[in-house]
């Protein structure tokens, strides 16, 4: 795909079968590391901040924003639905300094933080994830959630602020991951790209 930006930008690292659609805006690709089999849709705005690490089999859907200047980790098989906002840093909302990027230091004191999104996490449309939050492996965050605190693993969350709704069973997801890894990784643990799988007649 000629408009794919994945192999035209100077990323810190980028794996195979990565698609970054042409209308996605990526700021500071040099601090962003991306695994294998990743899709970043059109109209995503992703600022690399201090560091951004995106695992494999990750999808970031249209109109999602990643900003704040801190550290973001998205682990394997995680995804952000359309319109999600992830902030890895914050302005001072409590009156200690001036706010917003037009103001130079020392008048402005933005706080750089982090967001960690665990394996198999899915975040529903238009949710907002605030700085300093870890979303545990396998958590599912519903649409329109405001995530202000850590989320427990393998739990479905809903509402604003996000609160637990029920547990999310892990067994089937772990079984499917194991099966997929058996098919799509070689004996040394390296990802087998689609082009090679197709040559070998394996299903896509």
| Stretch 34-93 residues interacting with ligand COA (CB under 6 A) | 81
Out of 6, 58, 135, 140, the residue judged to bind ligand COA by CB under 6 A: 140
CA dist 22 and 115 (Å) reads 26
User: From the CB of 166, what's the least distance to ligand COA, in Å?
Assistant: 7
User: From the CB of 164, what's the least distance to ligand COA, in Å?
Assistant: 10
Contact 127, 148 (CB under 8 A): no
Out of 103, 125, 146, 192, the residue judged to bind ligand COA by CB under 6 A: 125
* Binding residues for ligand COA, total number by CB under 6 A: 11
Block residue for tokens 């249209």? 62
Residue 126's DSSP bridge partners are none
From residue 21, alpha-carbon distances to 44, 77, 90, 157 in Å are 9, 19, 28, 30
User: From the CB of 26, what's the least distance to ligand COA, in Å?
Assistant: 22
Q: Is 156 in the site for ligand COA (CB under 6 A)?
A: yes
From residue 10, alpha-carbon distances to 14, 154, 191 in Å are 9, 35, 21
Which residues of this protein are in contact with ligand COA, per CB under 6 A? 81, 124-125, 140, 142-144, 156, 158-159, 165
């Amino acid at each position: 795909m000629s408009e794919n930006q994945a192999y035209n930008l100077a990323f810190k690292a980028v794996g195979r079968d990565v698609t970054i659609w042409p209308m996605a805006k990526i700021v500071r690709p040099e601090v962003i590391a991306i695994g294998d089999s990743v899709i970043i849709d059109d109209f995503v705005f992703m600022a690399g901040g201090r560091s951004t690490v995106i695992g494999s089999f990750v999808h970031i859907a249209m109109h999602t924003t990643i900003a704040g200047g801190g550290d973001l980790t998205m682990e394997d098989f995680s995804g952000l639905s359309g319109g999600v906002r992830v902030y890895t840093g914050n302005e001072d909302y409590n009156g200690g300094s001036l706010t917003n990027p037009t103001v130079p230091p020392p008048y402005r004191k933005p706080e750089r933080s982090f967001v960690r999104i665990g394996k198999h996490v899915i975040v529903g449309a238009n949710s907002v994830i605030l700085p300093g939050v870890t979303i545990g492996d396998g958590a599912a965050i519903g649409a329109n959630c405001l995530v202000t605190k850590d989320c427990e693993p393998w739990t479905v969350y809903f509402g604003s602020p996000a609160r637990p709704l029920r547990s999310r069973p892990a067994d089937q997801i772990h079984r499917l991951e194991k099966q997929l890894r058996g098919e799509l990784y070689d004996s040394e643990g390296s990802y087998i790209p689609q082009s090679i799988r197709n040559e070998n007649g394996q299903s896509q």
